[in-house]
Amino acid sequence: MIPYGRQSISQADIDAVVEVLQSDFITQGPVAPKFERAVADYCHAGFGVSANSGTSALHIACLALDVGPGDTVWTTPITFVASANCARYCGADVDFVDIDPDTFNLSPAKLADKLARTRREGGRLPKVIIPVHFGGQSCDMAAIGALAGEYGFRIIEDAAHAIGGWHRGEPVGCGRFSDITVFSFHPVKVITTGEGGMAVTNDSALAERMARLCGHGITRDPGLMDGNPDGPWYYQQIELGFNYRMTDIQAALGLSQMSRLNEFVAGRERIAERYDELLRDLPISPQASIPDTRSAWHLYVVRLDPGRCARSHREVFESLRENGIGVNLHYIPVYLQPDFRRYGYESGYCPEAERYYGEAITLPMFAAMTGDIQRRVVQALREATTDARS
Ligand SMILES: *Cc1c(COP(=O)(O)O)cnc(C)c1O
């Protein structure tokens, strides 16, 4: 089966991990801070806080922005469940803003409508909005940032797909229009640490708070303590935190992968361009981008055009899988999950997201994908959508 995504591990990556294993510290040593610095520098952000997953990083980002019971967080329904769960971990409510049918990202126009409607009706405005850069393609952060000014919400960019992507001449993560940006380093993502994630920000207070939340809420800074330290061994837990730390083993892999990030994104871009070219005459539409952005191309997703396609979405999907093409579907609208429906969401809540769900297919995309593999994928898709056997 040709996978939809796959990590690329070099000998240099392996050597970097082995070096940590043979050193004094396999966690809480010098490498995680180096990885944090490398990621923050890459995306022109002030600070990086590493975590043991992207999900953990989203959780501490919400907590650092004081998300709690009685608050509402809005995100897109076309995302991984973690983008919504992070708010629920904090006891907050989650709501969803429908997508743009062309970019598959949270629609700034629908966001503006929903905010205006909520204010008009005296509803609860969101404390935080979590736009997701779907597939690596940046949302229109300038538009969402302008609404944040008007309605007073904070922004966490879920950039789990988007490390190495650009928006308005700056890297995703620079924080021009947001408070915190979160990356994931799961093996299917653009770079990997096995499991792992990072939150980047330009706000030193937010960075310190997130780092503390990753380490049980414990501080060794006398300035933050209640009373004076008992002695040099002393620490205090000043709020409830977690053990969300990334190990130095993971960070070593991440640091080594960072040196390959530009190469990875350039390779993904070439694959995407080739798909665009090869799929031009098929009854599908690829993801559209907004001007002045560069996708990190975590995913290459197409929508079938039901009017022009010889077979149903499900038949096309099954036919591809039967032909050894490990296609996938990103994502099932989050609010349709039983654990979200319990809050009263019903089918039809975000019509564009549901229409998208009935048409979307994620094609394979990974660093080691050769032209031959790609032509096999395209041929299988051609047969599945046009019923042409050749
Ligand atoms: C992968 C992913 C996450 C979670 O990252 P993990 O590192 O797997 O915890 C969050 N949001 C989105 C959009 C993702 O794709």
List strand residue ranges (DSSP E) for the chain, in order.
47-51, 72-75, 93-96, 128-130, 154-158, 166-167, 170-171, 180-184, 197-201, 218-219, 236-237, 284-286, 293-294, 300-304, 360-363
Q: Which atom of ligand 1 is nearest to the CA of 57?
A: 9
Q: 40-44, 239-243, 383-387: lowest mean pLDDT where? A: 383-387
DSSP designation for 223: G
Tell me which residue has its CA closest to atom 5 in ligand 1.
54
Over the stretch 167-199, which tens digit does the pLDDT of each residue have?
999 999 999 999 999 999 999 999 999 999 999
C-alpha pair distances (Å), 10 with each of 16, 17, 232: 10, 11, 43
Which residue ranges have their beta carbon within 6 Å of ligand 1? 53-55, 79-80, 82-83, 132, 158, 160-161, 184, 186, 197
Q: Which atom of ligand 1 is nearest to the CA of 189?
A: 1
pLDDT of residue 85: 98
- What is this structure's pTM? 0.97
Tell me which residue has its CA closest to atom 6 in ligand 1.
54
Over the stretch 254-279, which tens digit does the pLDDT of each residue have?
999 999 999 999 999 999 999 999 99
d(CA 159, CA 157): 6
Helix, strand, or coil (residue 247): strand
pLDDT of residue 388: 55
Segment 64-71 shows an average pLDDT of 98
Computed over every residue of the chain, the mean pLDDT equals: 97
pLDDT of residue 390: 44
Helix, strand, or coil (residue 198): strand
Segment 302-321 shows an average pLDDT of 96
Neighbours of 246 (CB within 10 A): 29
Segment 47-63 shows an average pLDDT of 98
The DSSP line for 323-346 is: TTB--B-----GGGSHHHHTTT--
